[in-house]
Chain A
Amino acid sequence: MIDWSPVLLSLRVGLSALAVIVVSGTLAARAMTRRHFPGKDVVDGLLVLPLVLPPVVTGFLLLVLLGRNGPVGRLMENAFGVRLLFTLHAAVLAAVVVAFPLMYQSARAAFQSVDARLEDAARTLGAGEARVFLTVTLPLAWPGLVAGTVLSFARSLGEFGATVMVAGNIPGQTTTVPLAIFFLADAGDLRAAGLYALVISALSMVMVVALNVWTRRRRPGWMRR
């Protein structure tokens, strides 16, 4: 039998990161499609940067920021007495930073694809901005938001490079599946590493198929035609 704790840890990290990513990615994408301000391109670049940076580099930057002498690390330690590095929190943070751009980009493309005149039409019919967003923008951007959610969840499940920098490899505490696979294979235990690889492949496959079936079943009539 294999030790299931890396699988459970990976799911915990993935789901926690997803909750943060879906909310922040959607809000950031909404703000960036509607507002115009100087330096917008730079902000956009920063938000997408973790997508093109090697994860190890992202992890290194996080390590510097979160470390005992880093600005964030010192603040957390002094203000709350919390140490972030080499905990599950750090693994979640690494997953959030690395997977965020996938949600952000999908959501931004989805919002941009919504015809602005439909939102204008809703306004002339007496809808305030919140109602316009909930009844027009969100339903029309829905497929892109779902795609972004799945992509970013898959990305956080498989996150390795940044995680190993900031969360380390503490069995039962921070050893997620990708870390377990690396260290088992490194130690020559190819059988155990292979089992984990199988588990995570099966998990990803089930997710993708379930999503495909769900979107086809749930697809509203106006899209089906």
Chain B
Amino acid sequence: MLTVRARKRLPHFTLEVDFEVRDEVLVLFGPSGAGKTMTLRMIAGLERPDGGEIRLGERVLYAREPRAWVPPRARRCGFVFQDAALFPHLDVSRNVLYGAADRSADARERLGVLLGRFRIGHLADRWPSQLSGGEVQRVALARALMADPDVLLLDEPFTSLDAEARLAAQDVVLQAHETWRIPFVFVTHDRAEAERMGDRMLFLREGRQVAAPEPR
């Protein structure tokens, strides 16, 4: 279970979040600039909160009192970035392998399974610049899961996809959640996507957590 209680001063408001995620998909929903991405970055250790506590299962990833700080490399938080952030100088299979602990036969086998699972096996030798938007995000997903994370954070991963590719990509994420059964935190500003993806929804506005808005 992921427990997030964090506060961070931002230029225009103070971000305050307090929520728990079990082995479910939690959607962080809200207009742009509401602090959704910052929340994910604090969970992953890419930003330091000003106060609060972040726990993942038994592990304390961040706490103000008593001080605790786990660096991002040791947090086991998978992160899928908005524009995927694939390494442009590595081909698809080396991108996915980046998160593996070693280059053992076991890692190679898991690579094969992941490439097959996300239907990117035929792209193994391609460069990221040669992939379509949907393929890029499937590679990003496989790369994040290759590192065997305890939680997966997805930051508006499908904003650049057209409607059809977006539906397909959403299915891929939901199926992956069925398999991995770890907490997923999915950020979006799209209401339809939020309703489709989330077991639960959290609405953020100017850094404040608001009750989930009534469906229109």
Most chain B beta-carbon neighbours within 10 Å: one of A115, A125, A127, A222:
A125
Distance to closest chain B CB from A36 (angstroms): 14
Count residues of A near B (Cβ-Cβ below 8 Å).
20
Q: Is B52 located at the chain interface by the 8 A CB criterion? A: no
Select the stretch in A21-29, A75-83, A116-124, A180-188 that faces chain B: A116-124
CB of B147 within 8 A of CB of A222, answer: no
CB of B85 within 8 A of CB of A121, answer: yes
Bound-state Cα–Cα, A127 to B101, Å: 9
Q: Is B51 located at the chain interface by the 8 A CB criterion? A: no
CB of B89 within 8 A of CB of A222, answer: yes
Most chain A beta-carbon neighbours within 10 Å: one of B76, B81, B128, B146:
B81
Most chain B beta-carbon neighbours within 10 Å: one of A115, A121, A140:
A121
Interface of chain B, main secondary structure? loop
Distance to closest chain B CB from A23 (angstroms): 23
Chain B hits for A127, CB < 8 A:
73, 98
Find the B residue at minimum CB distance from A122: B98
Bound-state Cα–Cα, A136 to B85, Å: 12
State which residues 151-176 of B face A: CB under 8 Å: none
A interface footprint on B42-77 (CB within 8 Å = 1, 0 otherwise):
001110000000000000000000000001111111
CB of B129 within 8 A of CB of A125, answer: no
Q: Is A39 located at the chain interface by the 8 A CB criterion? A: no
Find the B residue at minimum CB distance from A131: B73
CB of B85 within 8 A of CB of A126, answer: no
CB of A115 within 8 A of CB of B85, answer: yes
Chain B hits for A123, CB < 8 A:
45-46, 71-73
Find the B residue at minimum CB distance from A132: B73
Bound-state Cα–Cα, A113 to B71, Å: 24
A125-B46 contact, Cβ under 8 Å, with A118-B85, A120-B79, A140-B88? no
Distance to closest chain A CB from B169 (angstroms): 18
CB of B147 within 8 A of CB of A121, answer: no
CB of A117 within 8 A of CB of B85, answer: yes
Chain B hits for A117, CB < 8 A:
81, 83, 85
Most chain A beta-carbon neighbours within 10 Å: one of B44, B45, B71, B85:
B85
Q: Is A225 located at the chain interface by the 8 A CB criterion? A: yes
Most chain A beta-carbon neighbours within 10 Å: one of B75, B78, B83, B127:
B127
Q: Is A38 located at the chain interface by the 8 A CB criterion? A: no
Distance to closest chain B CB from A105 (angstroms): 23
Bound-state Cα–Cα, A221 to B147, Å: 26
State which residues 170-225 of A face B: CB under 8 Å: 220-222, 225
Chain A hits for B87, CB < 8 A:
118, 121-122, 136
When A and B form their complex, which 5 residue pairs have the shortest distance between CB atoms, in order from nearest?
Answer: A125-B99, A123-B72, A124-B79, A222-B127, A121-B85
Q: Which residues of chain A have a CB within 8 Å of any CB of chain B?
A: 115, 117-118, 120-128, 135-136, 139-140, 220-222, 225
